[in-house]
Amino acid sequence: MSSATSAAQPAAAAATGPSPELIKDAKSNGYKIKVVRGQTRFCKSETPIGTHFPTETCLNEDQLRLSMQQAQQARDSMTQSMGATK
């Protein structure tokens, strides 16, 4: 019975959806929120260099968190390197 309870907990957590803070951060980074087959996706449309055709990339909640964390690390690294050269 405990396995049924533990299996129900992730489903309940997934049903609640992403936090309002994550949605706010995603929107401020240019992502649009879409629900695909009952799952929340964060989608961004970008036009790669060398083409006029935009491509849409959709991420789940974990992928979005990782992407935003990597972008912040890149910004921090750039800020540190620029500060070191002055």
pLDDT truncated to tens, each residue of the chain (86 aa)? 444 444 444 444 455 789 999 999 999 999 999 998 999 999 999 999 999 999 999 999 999 999 999 999 999 999 988 876 55
Q: Which of 39, 37, 44, 29 is nearest to 62 (CA)?
A: 39
| Cα 24 from chain centre | 11
DSSP state of 12: H
pTM beyond 0.75: the answer is: no
Q: Which of 46, 49, 48, 50 is nearest to 59 (CA)?
A: 46
- The amino acid occupying position 83 is G
Q: Is CATH 1.10.1220 the classification given to domain 17-85?
A: no
- The amino acid occupying position 64 is L
Task: Give the residue extent of every domain in the chain.
Answer: 17-85
- pLDDT at res. 62: 95
